[in-house]
Amino acid sequence: MELTGKIIAVLPANSGVSSRTGNPWMSQEYVIEVPGQYPRKCLFRIFGEDRIKQFNIQMGEDVTISFDIDAHEYNGRWFNEIRAYNVTRGAAPVAGAPQAAPFPPQQAAPQDAAAPFPPAQEPAGEGSADDLPF
C-alpha cells in the first residue's frame, strides 16, 4: 500500500538489543499527513538503522511511503503496526487540484438509449397475487 503526504512529526529513534538473538536493533516513527478535504494523519515506523539512514526523512518533506500493515497480540490485546519499506521523495497532491479524467471516459448517453431500469409499472389493483407489503 502507499500513502503520499507531508511529514509533520519525526519521533525519537528507539534502539536496543534483542534478548532472543543478542543483535542490536533500531526503529524510528514518523507521522505523515495526507492532504484532502479532511486531512488524515498516519503514524508509521521504519525498522533498521540502515534504512533509517538511507531514507533520511526530514520534517516538512513531501514523500510517498510504501508500507505493510501487520497486527500482533500482547497481553490479550491486539495492536496494528504500519511498517514502511520504501520512501520516495516527491510532491504531495494538492487539495482541490484537478484530478485525472476517469477511465474509461464517460460519454453522454443518447436521448433514445434504453434506461438502465425498466419504467415503473402501475399496481394491478387490490387482491392481486403479486402484491407485496413493502
| pLDDT of res. 34 | 95
Q: What is the pLDDT of residue 100?
A: 43
Q: What is the pLDDT of residue 126?
A: 58
Cell numbers for 75: 497481553
**Position 81: which residue type?**
E
DSSP for 23-81, please give it. -EEEEEEEEEEE-SSS-EEEEEEEESHHHHHHH---TT-EEEEEEEEEEEEETTEEEEE
Whether the model clears a pTM of 0.85, i.e. scores above it, the answer is no
> Would you give per-residue pLDDT tens digits along the chain (134 residues)?
999 999 999 999 999 999 899 999 999 999 999 999 999 999 999 999 999 999 999 999 999 999 999 999 999 999 999 999 999 997 544 444 444 444 454 554 455 555 566 666 665 555 556 666 66
Own/partner pairs for 29-33, CB < 8 Å, 24+ apart? 30/57, 30/84, 31/7, 32/3, 32/5, 32/6, 32/7, 32/8, 32/63, 32/65, 33/5, 33/6, 33/8
